[in-house]
Every structure is written in C-alpha cells, then in structure tokens.
A and B are shown apart, each in its own frame.
Chain A
Amino acid sequence: MKIASILAGVAVAALTASAASAGTINQGQITAPVLGFPVTFNSPGVVTGLTGWSPTDNRNNSQNGASNYSSWHAYGQSGANVGSVNDTGAATFTLKGKVATDCAYYTGSSTNQTLDFGTIGIYADENAGPANLFNMTQAASVEINSNVAGCNTANTVKITKTDLESDNNGGYDSSVFTNKLPFSVTATYKAGALNSAAAAQSQSWTVASGVGTDSKSHGAWKSPMSLNVNIAKPNQALLAGNYEGTVSVLISAN
C-alpha cells in the first residue's frame, strides 16, 4: 500500500478522449476505505461497490491533503466543434450563353440590284415571216449566284416575282401583241428539312411562270445559292418599250 505503487497504477490508466464525445474527462481512482483496494470509476460513473461516492466526491478528495483516503482524479474537457463537420461537399456552376438568330443572303452593298438585259431581241425584219415578226428571237435567262446564303435557325425561303412588263401605254392588239414577259425562277442551294440534324441535300425548286410566289421551310442551313431566271419566248409578238420585272428572295427565321 505504498504511495509509489499507487502512482505507478495512475501511469498505466492512460487518459483517452472518446472520438464521439465533445471531450469530457472525469475519471480517477480511490483506495476504498472498506474494500482496501483501488476502485476505479469513470465519468459520470456509478461506482461499483462504493455506494455514495461520486466522481465529484473523488475529485474533491483528490485535492484534500488531509483526507484519510488516497485518490487521484482527472477532470477536464475540450471544446466541441463549432459548426458541423462534413466529409464531402459539392459546388455546382451553371454556364449559360446564347446565339442570336442570323439569316443572310449576300448582295454586296445594297439589297436592290438591277439586272439589265439591254435589248431583248425581236425579229425586226419583214422577211422573218408573219408568225415571227416582232416576236422574241430567243429565250433570255440570267443566273444570279451568291456564295453566302442561309440561316442559323429554322427558316423559310420565299421567292416573289413580278413579270417583266412594258411601259408602253399606246395601246395594242392583245390578240397579236403582249406587253408582258413572264418568267420562271429556279432556286438551288443546300439545305435540310425542318428539325432534321442530318447532312443537308441539294434543293432545287421552281416558281413557275405565271406564279407570283412560293416558299420552302428548312432547318438551319448555309450554302451558296443560285437563282436561275428564265424568260421563255412568248407566243405573241412583243410590244415595244422598256420592260421591267422583279425577283426577290427572302430568307427569314421561323
């Protein structure tokens, strides 16, 4: 029962902190006056075989140099976590952007261009015969090409035309003469169908003579585009004068 052996017992009873708790230490030993051997209890303990002796009693006794009973006691605590600890975390970035609608048909510095055939040839020689006199000598045609046409969204290509018409108001026998030159327009370009993501195929469609307008819808497309204007020879003789007509193409987003 020497003090030296009791102190050796204390060294063996190492203090540990429970990982689960916020770290309260309240433990010790006392050589029980009745039992005659050290009784160990831990916080907030119920002491086996030592009724009425609480950890608080043992802590107080361990500071009492005049006590009849030897005891040691360790008391302390660590602070709890401030805030919750986490084992994982996540952050999400949402990226956004937009692309503006853009439809194009390149016509240079102006969207209006004048194409002048100059003289529309007619048979002006009386030796041409009555069926041919004043008739158009041959069909006229012009091909209009642009290497930039298309739209970066679903769109409609619309072609509208007005027949060439003479400005001669002097009157004429409509059973023999005509003052109009109708024509057809054939548009050719590469575009796909609406809502199709497949590779586009070449499109070619015609707005016939006598038809004022027609249109086709496509998914986004971009390609060179040609407009082939074909003025067929009318059956009737051509009234003299200056003839003027229009062709317009409009590519617009749906």
Chain B
Amino acid sequence: MARVGGLVALVVAAAVASTASAEPMLDSGLASSLDVIVKGKITASCRLSGGGDIDFGELTGGQQVEANFGLSCNVPFDISFQSQSGGLAHVTKPRGEGPFAGRLGYTLNVAIPTINPQAATLAGSFASENLIAKKTLSSGEGIAQGGGRIQIRTDRPEGVGLLAGEYSEVLNITLAPRV
C-alpha cells in the first residue's frame, strides 16, 4: 500500500514539472525592443559618352563650334582634357612650310552642371597648345547633374596664313570618380 502511494506522487510531480515548463515566459518589468541596422552599398558609377567628328570646313580662323557630351557620375569626379596636336595640325607638315603655319590653335571652353547640393557649374577654359599635357577639372564635393558642353573657337592664323592641305586634331576627354 505504501509503494502504490509513492508511485502516484511521482506522477503528480512529473505533471507539475511539465506545467512549470509551460509558464508564460514574459517577465513583467522588462522592456523589449528590436533595433535593426540596415546597411547597403551603392556602387560608384561614372559614365562618359559622346564624341565624334567636328568638321570646320575651310579653316579661316575665328570659327566656333559647340558640342554636348553625356556625363553621369554619382560621386565627386575629375574630368580631364588632352589634345593630341595642340591645335588643328596639318596632317603631313604640322610645322608648316616657309612662312605658312601648319597648326591652327583654338580655345576650349568647358561647362558641366553639378549638384553640391546646390546647382553649380564646373567650368574651364584652355588654350589648345596647353592641352598637350592633360588638364584636369575637379568637381570638388559635387556630383554630375547630367551632361556637359564643350565650345571650341579657332584662333586667327598666325603669320602669313595656313599651309594648304588637310588639318586634324584629336581631343580626348576622360572621367574618373574621386572616392
């Protein structure tokens, strides 16, 4: 009779124990919160597009041409300009012949709208002979608003005039993000 009583008590105890494990887990007085830090990264993307041929026709000097180019950059950037010949150069006799010059210089004016966060314009003016060594404009803290424009104005021919023939020049524009 005593053994039977003991066995019953164990079962009850087990039942109590399992009930204890189902107690509510919230402890009143403790606040709970959830802070989630969300991070991401946007890759710097800088893109330059455009270019092509600009034909002045008969070179008389004092001619002006404007061209737009595509520019997008979501970080501050440097944009560089470099001339291959320092001006429109005679294709076979860039040094000229006799008193006739073989190169016609020009002035390059650049205007690029930026956001910093106010709207601003990144501008520069260069003589073509100074562009043989690359020249760079920096946007500071600004990013590109979109697009850019160059204006090329040819000088008056030096000396007695220009040597007859074909003239050519290559102007390279390069873009690099500044991170």
- Of residues A16, A17, A85, A152, which shows the largest number of chain B Cβ atoms within 10 Å of its Cβ? A152
Which size bracket describes the interface of B in this complex?
35 or more
The reply on A113 being an interface residue by CB < 8 A is no
A37 vs chain B, min Cβ distance (A): 16
List the 4 shortest-distance A-B pairs measured between CB atoms, nearest first: A89-B48, A153-B164, A91-B51, A97-B56
Q: Which of A123-131, A180-188, A215-223 contacts B (4 or more CB under 8 A)?
A: A215-223
For chain B, residues 80 to 107, give those with C-beta under 8 angstroms from any C-beta of chain A: 88, 93, 95-100, 104, 106
B73 vs chain A, min Cβ distance (A): 9
Question: Interface on B for A, CB 8 Å cutoff?
Answer: 25-27, 30-41, 43-59, 67, 69-70, 88, 93, 95-100, 104, 106, 150, 152, 154, 160-177
Q: Which of A45-53, A135-143, A162-170, A189-197 contacts B (4 or more CB under 8 A)?
A: A189-197
Cβ contacts A5-34/B at 8 Å (1 or 0 each)? 001101100111101000100000000000
Given A98-B59, A98-B166, residue A91 in contact with residue B173 (CB < 8 A): yes
User: Please, how many angstroms separate the alpha-carbon atoms of A27 and B171 in the complex?
Assistant: 52
In the bound complex, do residue B37 and residue A14 qualify as a contact, i.e. CB atoms below 8 Å apart? yes
A126 vs chain B, min Cβ distance (A): 57
In the bound complex, do residue B49 and residue A97 qualify as a contact, i.e. CB atoms below 8 Å apart? no
Given A94-B53, A97-B57, residue A220 in contact with residue B164 (CB < 8 A): yes
Chain A residue numbers with a CB within 8 Å of B51 are 91-94
From B176, which residue of chain A is reached at the shortest CB distance? A88
B90 vs chain A, min Cβ distance (A): 8
User: Please, how many angstroms separate the alpha-carbon atoms of A66 and B106 in the complex?
Assistant: 79
Given A98-B57, A152-B100, residue A92 in contact with residue B173 (CB < 8 A): yes
B interface SS class: strand
In the bound complex, do residue B45 and residue A95 qualify as a contact, i.e. CB atoms below 8 Å apart? no
In the bound complex, do residue A85 and residue B44 qualify as a contact, i.e. CB atoms below 8 Å apart? yes
In the bound complex, do residue A97 and residue B58 qualify as a contact, i.e. CB atoms below 8 Å apart? yes
Further 4 A-B residue pairs, CB within 8 A, beyond A89-B174, A91-B172, A220-B100 = A90-B172, A98-B165, A153-B163, A196-B97
Taking a contact as CB atoms closer than 8 A, the residue among A87, A94, A153, A221 that contacts B54 in the complex is A94
Number of residues in A with C-beta < 8 Å to the partner?
Answer: 52
B30 vs chain A, min Cβ distance (A): 4
A75 vs chain B, min Cβ distance (A): 13
Question: Interface on A for B, CB 8 Å cutoff?
Answer: 1-4, 7-8, 10-11, 14-17, 19, 23, 74, 78, 81, 85-102, 150, 152-154, 191-192, 195-197, 200, 218-223, 253
Chain A residue numbers with a CB within 8 Å of B99 are 200, 220-223
Chain B residue numbers with a CB within 8 Å of A2 are 25-27, 30
Chain B residue numbers with a CB within 8 Å of A78 are 40
Taking a contact as CB atoms closer than 8 A, the residue among A15, A81, A94, A195 that contacts B52 in the complex is A94
Some 29 contacts from A to B, beta carbons below 8 A apart, are A2-B25, A10-B34, A11-B34, A15-B36, A16-B37, A86-B45, A89-B47, A90-B172, A90-B173, A93-B52, A93-B54, A93-B150, A94-B53, A95-B168, A97-B104, A97-B167, A98-B58, A99-B163, A99-B164, A102-B164, A152-B163, A153-B164, A197-B97, A200-B98, A218-B98, A219-B97, A219-B98, A220-B97, A222-B161
